[in-house]
Amino acid sequence: MFKAIISAEALQDAIKAVSAVVDEARFEIAPEGLSARAVDPANAAMVSLELSNDAFTLFEGTEGEIGIDLSRFVEILGMADRSGEIELELDPDTHKLDISMSGLSYTLSLLDPSTMRKAPSVPALDLPAEIAVSGSVFKRMIKAAEMVSDHMSMGVHDGVFFMEATGDTDHVRLDLTGSDLIAIKPAEVRSLYSLDYLTDISKGVGGAGEIVIDLGRDLPVVIKFEPTSGDCKIKYVLAPRIESD
Amino acid sequence: MDRCVICKGKGLCGRPRCPILERFKAVETIPISDNLFGASPPSVFVGRKGYPDIFAGPLVPPNVGDSEARQYDDPKELLKIGIDEIIGLRSRLVRSYARMDVKDAKAPKNLFLLTSQELAMAEVPVDTEVWFTKPVDVNVAFDGTLMPMGPAGEIKSITLAENPKVPGKVDYLVSDTDVLAADSIRELHRHDISQHHITRIFSIGLLGRERRLVPTRWSITAIDDMVGKMLLDDIRDYPELRDIVLFTSEKFGNHFEILLVPRCFSFELIEIWHPNSVWSEKLWIGSDREGYGGKKGYSSLAGGYYAARTAAVEYLHAIRRQASVFIVREILPNYWAPLGVWVIREAVRDALAGRGMRFDSVGGALSEMQTRIRTPHDRWRDKMQLLDECRFQRTLMEFL
């Protein structure tokens, strides 16, 4: 059983963040709220969403699982007025999701969760450095790197958070320190990541105010943010590029 | 000249006839007559000039019986013989044609079209008699996508001298005018109707709801694309291949190296045209690719890209695995006349029917490839853009 009412803005941001990395996802329904964990086909990037029941105006849910085609879902949610509300209800007989918003009511066919890729295990990572930057700084950093290369390094050296990208001909570096950052827990770290993934992630970040980045040495990066409030938590984990066979 | 290797006779330069293709004219001749009798392999050709007002009709080799006719048009048979023999055979295949509108296929009344359709449905050669308005022109037509064809003549009258043998599934789907072409193609492919046969009936306007004649050249690539996408829908759910495997084959001066890497599906084709190969005077290297999500837009490598992809995904579908596929096609000067994209499809199939060599690392497989590709690797290696992604991008599983 699942029935919920939530602000359009909160749901749009949450689903957009998940759809940045995967086309379809399994959502777990529980009395505490809605959650999802999914990994991209190449097993390189993972996203997890936790939308607590406090994020909803109304939330009634018993344990269950539904599979959603995210590109369809994002399209439908795009029709909602951002300041309005969206009502979701699972029809137990047809196993379809009824979505109502600003006078529109959609019926979305669900995917059979048993045919979908299993939810990934989360790597237990010991990432010594943690950096908090504003969402706009994060996006600008990725945009700058994209102009010169397909991949970029992120790291911390002497307490300074840096990004560096080297292409065939051009090079870019960004050093952030002091007031550029919201917070930093320094450690000597550096890893290289594919910009294909980071660009997708930066799209998922949307207008988030604060992004927390956990880094290690040649280890996956963890990128966390809360799109609207503490009631919704998004976490990306992206495996690094390591240039040896 | 750079443009020729991309155009392959399509006419991008604006000349009325392709100067390269003109070189191959009149390799063999046949007796000039205004009447002929022979078994069509079966084969029909739908032209593209003047679209939607086009020429179409059956191909018939004069005085050739049922038993020999098949080899004139069957890619599997043609693969076994030499390039000179192929041109010899194909130049004896007379192309009969009549003017038609592509929309005539919707409710065919034109007797020539009806006869062509009846013939196209057949699985085995059909005895055919054609009378021409005047004796046929003697020449051979070559093309990058199509098989070479012999002289052409306008049909005055045509009859089939026997009943075509039509597979039940073909008959069934041709008579169904409510089913979409894509669904018919899926169904035919599932029932082991050869891709060559599907292309033939699709081209002559026998499949789908909104039936049209589709120029042969476009049909070949359309079917390659549809079959490829259809198989990929399944492949995306299959587990990854276990080993790094390298396959190789060489047909008519087309050398192929096919590398399969355990990972989610992706496909990359590199074409290396040697100096003095058919379409190019100097070395020309091109590449195109698609990721897991599939291809958007038309490939810069044209029909050959889709033909290679079809053969590669057929293999993955058969072994029920997914993998990242890298194909290097090196075209040597002894590919002296263009034979059509079937060469690519069949050569890739041939390579993948082999045993393949297993490697512990992509680097090892690359070194092996370099020993067989004549062009130095620094000229083409950086065109393999997806390969680095494959080699260097770690997966999250490695950190569990």
- Fold classification of A129-238 (topology level): Proliferating Cell Nuclear Antigen (3.70.10)
User: Where does the pLDDT of residue B29 fall: very low under 50, low under 70, confident under 90, or very high at 90 and above?
Assistant: low
Least confident of A141-150, B137-146, B203-212, B288-297: B137-146
User: What residues of B are in contact with residue A244 (Cβ under 8 Å)?
Assistant: 392
User: What residues of B are in contact with residue A39 (Cβ under 8 Å)?
Assistant: 396
End-to-end CA distance of chain B: 54
Using the beta-carbon criterion (under 8 Å), do B397 and A43 form an inter-chain contact?
yes
DSSP string over A141-206? HHHHHHTT-SEEEEEEETTEEEEEEE-SS-EEEEEE-GGG-SEEE--SEEEEEEHHHHHHHHHHHT
DSSP string over A23-43? SEEEEEEETTEEEEEEE-TTS
Using the beta-carbon criterion (under 8 Å), do A123 and B396 form an inter-chain contact?
yes
Query: Of residues B1 and B33, which shows the higher confidence score?
Result: B33
User: Where does the pLDDT of residue B1 fall: very low under 50, low under 70, confident under 90, or very high at 90 and above?
Assistant: low
Amino acid of residue B150: G
| pLDDT value for B139 | 67
| pLDDT value for B78 | 92
User: Where does the pLDDT of residue B32 fall: very low under 50, low under 70, confident under 90, or very high at 90 and above?
Assistant: low
Least confident of A146-155, B8-17, B126-135, B161-170: B8-17
Q: Would you say residue A120 has pLDDT above 90?
A: no
Sign of the CA dihedral with B146 first, then B149, B154, and B159 last: negative
Using the beta-carbon criterion (under 8 Å), do B400 and A123 form an inter-chain contact?
yes
CB atoms closer than 10 angstroms to residue B67: 10
Please compute the mean of the pLDDT values over residues B238-261 and round it to a whole number: 95
Using the beta-carbon criterion (under 8 Å), do B264 and A220 form an inter-chain contact?
no
Please compute the mean of the pLDDT values over residues B392-399 and round it to a whole number: 90
| pLDDT value for B25 | 56
Question: What value, to the nearest 5°, has the Cα angle with vertex B125 and ends B124 and B126?
Answer: 120
Using the beta-carbon criterion (under 8 Å), do B399 and A115 form an inter-chain contact?
no
- From the list B263, B265, B393, which residue is nearest A239 (CB)? B393
* Minimal C-alpha gap between B389 and chain A (Å): 8
Please compute the mean of the pLDDT values over residues B278-300 and round it to a whole number: 88
| pLDDT value for B148 | 79
Query: Of residues B15 and B145, which shows the higher confidence score?
Result: B145
Q: Would you say residue B277 has pLDDT above 80?
A: no
Residue found under tokens 């599907």: B198
Selected from 3.80.30, 1.25.10, 1.10.260, 3.30.230, the CATH number assigned to the domain covering B244-391 reads 3.30.230
Which CATH code fits A2-113?
A: 3.70.10.10
* Minimal C-alpha gap between A57 and chain B (Å): 36
Q: Would you say residue A103 has pLDDT above 70?
A: yes
Q: Would you say residue B50 has pLDDT above 80?
A: yes
Q: Characterize the bridge pairing of strands B324-331 and B266-273.
A: parallel
Q: Would you say residue B27 has pLDDT above 70?
A: no
Please compute the mean of the pLDDT values over residues B315-338 and round it to a whole number: 92
User: What residues of A are in contact with residue B393 (Cβ under 8 Å)?
Assistant: 42, 44, 194, 239, 241
Chain B residue with Cα closest to A124: B400
Using the beta-carbon criterion (under 8 Å), do A194 and B400 form an inter-chain contact?
no
Least confident of A43-52, B15-24, B237-246, B296-305: B15-24
How far apart, in whole angstroms, are the C-alpha atoms of residue B211 and residue B218?
A: 15
User: What residues of B are in contact with residue A125 (Cβ under 8 Å)?
Assistant: 399
| pLDDT value for B26 | 47
How far apart, in whole angstroms, are the C-alpha atoms of residue B254 and residue B4?
A: 18
Residue limits of CATH 3.70.10.10 in chain A: 2-113, 129-238
Interface residues on A facing B, Cβ-Cβ cutoff 8 A: 23, 39, 41-46, 115, 120-121, 123-125, 194, 196, 219-220, 237, 239-245
Least confident of B6-15, B102-111, B181-190, B225-234: B6-15
* Minimal C-alpha gap between B100 and chain A (Å): 42
User: What residues of A are in contact with residue B395 (Cβ under 8 Å)?
Assistant: 42-44, 239
Q: Would you say residue B28 has pLDDT above 60?
A: no
| pLDDT value for B173 | 95
Q: Would you say residue B315 has pLDDT above 80?
A: yes
B window 245-264, beta carbon within 8 A of A: 263-264
User: Where does the pLDDT of residue B82 fall: very low under 50, low under 70, confident under 90, or very high at 90 and above?
Assistant: confident
| pLDDT value for B86 | 87
* Minimal C-alpha gap between B157 and chain A (Å): 54
B window 283-342, beta carbon within 8 A of A: 292-293
Residue limits of CATH 3.30.230 in chain B: 244-391
Residue B238, chain A, CB below 8 Å: the answer is no
| pLDDT value for A110 | 93
Interface test with A, best of B366, B393, B397 (most A CBs within 10 A): B393
CB B341 within 8 A of CB B304: yes
Query: Of residues B161 and B30, which shows the higher confidence score?
Result: B161
Instruction: Report DSSP state, residue B52.
Output: T
Residue found under tokens 């945009």: A143
| pLDDT value for B276 | 74
User: What residues of A are in contact with residue B293 (Cβ under 8 Å)?
Assistant: 23
Residue B378, chain A, CB below 8 Å: the answer is no
**A11-26 pLDDT tens trace:** 999 999 999 999 999 9
User: Where does the pLDDT of residue B7 fall: very low under 50, low under 70, confident under 90, or very high at 90 and above?
Assistant: confident
What pTM was estimated for this model as a whole? Answer: 0.84
- From the list B263, B361, B396, which residue is nearest A220 (CB)? B396
Using the beta-carbon criterion (under 8 Å), do A121 and B400 form an inter-chain contact?
yes
Interface test with A, best of B265, B324, B399 (most A CBs within 10 A): B399
Q: Would you say residue B279 has pLDDT above 80?
A: no
**A176-216 pLDDT tens trace:** 998 889 999 999 999 999 999 999 999 998 778 899 999 99
